A and B are shown apart, each in its own frame.
Chain A
């Protein structure tokens, strides 16, 4: 199983980012010079503005970024364009209405939007209940208290993960994308690619192990 507790405590930066010369004045964190990080940070700022002051121009920014991606995600999962458009608009409205439930210490904005799109899709397209964990359930055993620097880390994790995904061997990367984007069981993936089920499982396991290593490296 994954062990992220180590990872939670440090304020480490990915090597790729550290290599960028410090462009910021007044000893700013060098991450601000990284476009992906700056963008992720801008998304957090926009979402906070929506949550605290119903800022429409901030929401327009989120819309421009996420609407085409959420629609693409839904279509990759086999939803027809028209229906994907409707569900996407619904997802964007949910982002507007539930912005205050976003917790930057728990996840990056993209991850939060992903879970909203994933859940809306299941609710609308599948005629079944969707048992999910409710993070606000008071009966949950608490995790370690949230650290102040975790908000920045959630963004950083997402970014590191992006690099790590790109660097996966192609057959492992394909397996991960299929797992998230094709709504297929592992046995369906095996059938479609005409490879044994055991191979699908071992490739996925390897991919997850590799991603985990990227989380753990200094």
Chain B
């Protein structure tokens, strides 16, 4: 597998490294990091900023008995180390916690045009939700715009649109300014992790009628 060519923005990496990222954003970032050595290195540098700030922060007095309380617990048996989380085929480890039975077993619901969506049990934050989108091999999803921000991460297959070609691990970011028509590559169904804070907006004359049904 080749390394991704479309990467996370510095802002999302920064939110992840600083701990400010909410669950849907952290899921997107951690999943991309699983595919991408370059962004892993960048995230590590941003964590280093956190370490450096820890050195420069004015220290605060700890409780008088803090050391005694901690020292008294040093001989306690350590709780079992958290198990190494291992991905399942096609699903990197951070996402596997949400899809224990794999991509095919997700709660898929057809949305027309050979496409389907599946919600992920992710806490919603500031309107940001996580879901999966599947577009049939070689099929196109109708031309549409966005009412807010939308981020896609390709988990399987590939798609092309007006902004480029996206393969496994690649991230695509859209906002109100972008309208596009994603077309899945012919090799297999394209499945993406989606984080969005607003429903899409159909731009074609016919598909505009469907807008009320696309609020998932």
Contact = CB atoms under 8 A, between A and B. Distances in A.
B23 to A, nearest CB: 5
Given A108-B48, A179-B14, A205-B10, A129 B97 contact: yes
B11 A161 contact: no
B164 interface: no
B26 interface: yes
Contacts of A162: 52, 55-56
A89 B45 contact: no
Interface residues of B, number: 69
Contacts of B44: 106-107
Given A131-B27, A131-B95, A215-B45, A68 B84 contact: no
A139 B50 contact: no
B57 A130 contact: no
A131 B19 contact: no
Given A1-B38, A97-B78, A98-B81, A185 B49 contact: no
Interface in A20-65: 54, 56, 59-60, 63
Q: Which of B48, B52, B66 has the most CB of A within 10 A?
A: B52
Interface residues of A, number: 82
B31 to A, nearest CB: 7
Contact of A180 (B53, B67, B71): B53
Interface string B43-87: 111111111111111111111001101110110001001001111
B40 interface: yes
Contact of B54 (A59, A70, A98, A201): A70
Contacts of A110: 51-52, 54-55
B42 A137 contact: no
Contacts of A183: 19-20
Interface string A136-179: 11111111000000000000011001100110000000001101
A85 B51 CA distance: 19
Given A97-B78, A133-B30, A67 B51 contact: no
The 7 A-B pairs with the shortest beta carbon distances in the complex, nearest first, are A111-B51, A68-B59, A110-B51, A118-B19, A72-B60, A114-B50, A128-B123
Given A93-B70, A107-B47, 18 more contacts: A2-B42, A56-B74, A63-B70, A68-B61, A96-B74, A107-B51, A115-B47, A130-B26, A131-B29, A133-B33, A133-B93, A137-B84, A137-B85, A142-B37, A165-B49, A179-B15, A185-B15, A208-B46
